[in-house]
Amino acid sequence: MSSDPFLRPAEAHDAPEIAPLILMAGGGVYEFLLGGLVPGAETVDMLVPGIAGRSGSFSHRQMVVAESAGRVIGVAHAHPTHWMRDADRSFIPADRIAHLAAFDSTQDWDSYFLSALAIAPDLRRQGLARHLLARVYDRARDGGYDRVTLHVWADNAAARALYAAEGFTEAAAAAIPWHPRLPHRGGSLLLRRPVPAA
């Protein structure tokens, strides 16, 4: 890959640029979970402190970014799946958590989890997502994991094409019901692939 764009570990000061990309990757799930919980705050702004922080699964330390011309134009966010078991969700309304219960019931808790992957719309189809995925496989291997998993909305054709090209296969279907605030058809799919040899 040439020197621009280039990949690097995320830093705390990237958080305001990373947050909109994380929202994009979620396909509405962060807005569904967090929307309206802090009066006057946009969901995107609610993500920034966690990304800027040094601890927890949501920290920038679990992210790799693509940078071009001084701008963060892509992100991959990944960590051991079981870290999500300890996440504090006590501030999220119980009905919102319950609506997404199928995410948890389909997880492969011993895998390495790709939580988010997004590229700025104007820079897609240049292989950047594949480069970021290669970094995720490296991190998974370094952590001693033999497989990577992720959830993708069944109606996200671009992402499904990418993951199929990368060798991911369907491991489970998470029946997340359609909701006016999360209008996806077909629920979510848990995809899995082995970590490639170094």
Ligand X SMILES: CC(C)(COP(=O)(O)OP(=O)(O)OC[C@H]1O[C@@H](n2cnc3c(N)ncnc32)[C@H](O)[C@@H]1OP(=O)(O)O)[C@@H](O)C(=O)NCCC(=O)NCCS
Q: Which is nearer to ligand X, 127 or 167 (CB)?
A: 127
**Least distance CB 90 / ligand X (angstroms):** 26
Q: Does 25 bind ligand X (CB under 6 A)?
A: yes
**Least distance CB 188 / ligand X (angstroms):** 9
For the segment 117-136, give every residue that binds ligand X (CB under 6 A): 117-119, 124-130
**Least distance CB 127 / ligand X (angstroms):** 5
For the segment 66-105, give every residue that binds ligand X (CB under 6 A): none
Task: Choose one: 28-36, 87-95, 105-113, 148-156; the region binding ligand X (CB under 6 A).
Answer: 148-156
**Least distance CB 129 / ligand X (angstroms):** 3
Nearest residue to 113 (alpha-carbon basis) of 170, 183, 191, 20: 191
DSSP state of 155: T
**What burial class does residue 154 get, using C-beta atoms within 10 Å of its C-beta: 0-12 exposed, 13-18 middle, 19+ buried?**
middle
Q: Which is nearer to ligand X, 38 or 161 (CB)?
A: 161
DSSP state of 73: E
Q: What are the residues whose beta carbons fall under 8 Å from the beta carbon of 137, sequence distance 6 or more?
A: 148, 195, 196
Cα 106 from Cα 31, distance rounded (Å): 22
Q: How many residues bind ligand X (CB under 6 A)?
A: 20
State whether the Cα torsion 92-96-101-103 is positive or negative.
negative
Cα 138 from Cα 141, distance rounded (Å): 5
Strand order in the sheet with 188-194: 6-9, 63-68, 71-80, 112-119, 147-153, 188-194, 169-174
Tell me the per-residue interface mask from 156 to 195 with ligand X, x by CB under 6 A, - otherwise: x-xx-xx--x------------------------------
**Least distance CB 40 / ligand X (angstroms):** 27
**Least distance CB 108 / ligand X (angstroms):** 16
Q: Does 19 bind ligand X (CB under 6 A)?
A: no
Phi and psi at residue 162, to the nearest 5°: -60, -50
Interface residues with ligand X (CB under 6 A) are 24-25, 117-119, 124-130, 150, 152, 156, 158-159, 161-162, 165
